Chains A and B, each alone.
Chain A
Amino acid sequence: MDFQWNLVWDSVPTLLDGAILTLKLTTIAVSIGVVLGTVFGIMRLSRTPLRYLAVGYIDFIRGTPLLVQIFIIYYGMPPFIGTAIPPYIAALIALSINSGAYVAEIVRAGIQSIEKGQTEAALSLGLSSSATMIHIILPQAFKRIIPPLGNEFIALLKDSSLVSAIALEELVRKAQIVAGRTFRPFEVWFVVAIMYLIMTVAVSRIVSILERRLRVGE
Chain B
Amino acid sequence: MAIIEVTDLHKKFKDLHVLKGITTNIEQGEVVVIIGPSGSGKSTFLRCLNFLELPTSGEIRFEGNLITHHNLQVVRREMGMVFQRFNLFPHMRVIDNITLAPRLVRKLDPDEAKGQAYALLERVGLSDKANAFPDQLSGGQQQRVAIARALAMRPKVMLFDEPTSALDPEMIGEVLDVMKSLAADGMTMVVVTHEMGFAREVSDRVIFLDDGMLVEENKPDQIFGDPQHPRTKSFLSKIL
Contacts and interface: CB of A to CB of B under 8 A. Distances in A.
Contacts of A118: 87, 89
- Interface magnitude class on chain B: 20 to 34
Interface in A100-155: 115, 117-118, 120-128, 131, 135-136, 139-140, 143
Contact of A218 (B73, B91, B101, B153): B91
A126 B135 contact: no
Interface stretch (B77-85, B111-119, B179-187, B194-202): B77-85
B89 A121 contact: yes
A218 B87 contact: no
B77 A126 contact: yes
Contacts of B101: 122, 125-127
B173 interface: no
A77 B150 CA distance: 55
Contacts of B104: 127, 131, 135
A123 B159 CA distance: 14
A139 B97 CA distance: 14
B133 interface: yes
Interface residues of A, number: 20
B83 A120 contact: yes
A74 B122 CA distance: 64
A65 interface: no
Nearest to A143: B91
B50 interface: yes
A124 B91 contact: no
Contacts of B79: 124
Contact of B91 (A127, A128, A131, A140): A140
A217 interface: yes
A136 B92 CA distance: 9
Interface string A148-171: 000000000000000000000000
Interface of B: 50, 52, 73-74, 76-77, 79-81, 83, 85, 87-91, 93, 100-101, 104-105, 133, 135, 146, 149-150, 153, 159
